[in-house]
Amino acid sequence: MPEKNFISYLKSLKPKDWNKKVTDKWTVKELVAHMIGWERGDPEIIKSTWKTKQTPWFTKTKDYDDFNQKNIDYYKNYKPAELIRELEQWQRKVKEEIERIGEDKLKARLDLFGWLFDTGENSHYNLHYRQIENAVNKN
């Protein structure tokens, strides 16, 4: 599961690594805040999508800037260890919601829940893992 590798890697970072630029916009810390924001919203999105059978809001747009910025702002005063705990907490809640409905049932509706099972080389987690790793290894 890419999420576990991501968490393990974050735990290995030095305090100075969290301020390194990952992109022209985000530091490691901000990128992690962005990731938490997505995880934090997922339990409710899973629940409502299952109930309504309507695709989630993020499948209908390519503009996530406001959503991402709100999460970066929300978590700006968190320390790295707090961010990691927050990410782990929301990952657990996502897993609980998947288990509540049933992973097999969600996988039967990949048209609605395919994003939950995005584990390939270009998955959200793998993309950001590589970005952080590149930023940390530059120095």
> For residue 3, is pLDDT > 80?
no
Spatial CB neighbours of 8, under 8 Å, sequence gap ≥ 6: none
- pLDDT of res. 52: 96
Q: What pLDDT does residue 1 have?
A: 43
In the chain, domain spans: 25-134
What is the spatial distance between Cα 80 and Cα 112, in angstroms, rounded to a whole number? 33
Q: What is the pTM of this model?
A: 0.89
Do residues 36 and 75 touch, judged by C-beta distance below 8 A? yes
Average pLDDT for residues 87-91, to the nearest whole number? 95
The mean per-residue pLDDT over the stretch 120-136 comes to: 86
Q: Which residues contact 43 (CB under 8 A, 6 or more apart)?
A: 90, 93, 94, 96, 97
Q: Give residue 139's pLDDT.
A: 62
For the chain, give percent helix, strand, coil, nearest 5: 75, 0, 25
Residue 4 has a pLDDT of: 63
Task: For residue range 16-31, list pLDDT tens digits in order.
Answer: 999 999 999 999 999 9
How many Cβ atoms sit within 10 Å of the Cβ of residue 22?
21
Over the chain, what is the mean pLDDT?
92
Decide if pLDDT at 69 tops 80: yes
